[in-house]
Structure 1
């Protein structure tokens, strides 16, 4: 496979972590995952977003920079890497949760650390309806997600849509995941990998009728 650094992205509940696992296993790649459970502010954030937004966001920012920093100097003989996050989407959450003064502070810090992160060779953006996202979040039953409101998920989904509408930092494969089950149907995963290998343009779509 020509891509060495692949990112699976999308809003909470889209299935990005599950797909990242399957892709890494299929490709024999290293797996790089977000670590939300290690953020000491996250549970409080979902209970009181306004109060805990800034420390939650800054913790994630520095965590993500540290995680992807080593990829800035790739080893040509190392395995490919599949991740379930990209640093470039970090401001999306910040703009959604921080007030103007906090966002100005966050932006200064982000611009300072952003050069430490490499640009992915490919971003796979998983799309799903808000109702599907809500259902998936409820069904997987993560304790810290129990207080996520439907309104927050709706705003987050809209923010992702706006962000990737104009995204041009790396090749982008937009995937409608409503009728695809990458975890339980190996044929669906094979179809996705075929599309990844066949990509020629900077932006393509994958939608299974």
Structure 2
């Protein structure tokens, strides 16, 4: 796991559900097949309507028009309350990771999205102590220091406290639950 993550912010609102993260009709793709894994990146956040309630003003598409159709220029997603709510699909963090997202910072998560992110080692789910969707804009340059527990908006110069990862940090660092279990000798493999 990286202890410092730098990237461009993509800001969403409250209650972003798993069907907005990856709509159900794209679940026919198999993430274990590389060509199909890329499709999860292509359709990541394609279910977020342009006029969704709770989205900040100036909402822009997750994929840049004329840019890479599979990988987004945004590597850090900033969410509000209850990020990843809805169904328990494990494809939601896979889709964000396939699109190039390294970390999501939200006020709090739906438990299943959080666990799927950690268990698969797909991305780093961090929680903020403040409502960041009102303080950060899509396109801002961010730097996350996981050890110090801070997120710095290098565009505005503001810094914000993050909650520690706690007991899930070694799981994320190992690359997911199965990798962690192998590393600590929990599996006889």
Normalised by the length of structure 2, the TM-score is: 0.30
Higher strand share: 2
Larger helix share, 1 or 2: 1
Indicate the structure whose relative CO is greater, using CA pairs within 8 Å and at least 6 residues apart. 1
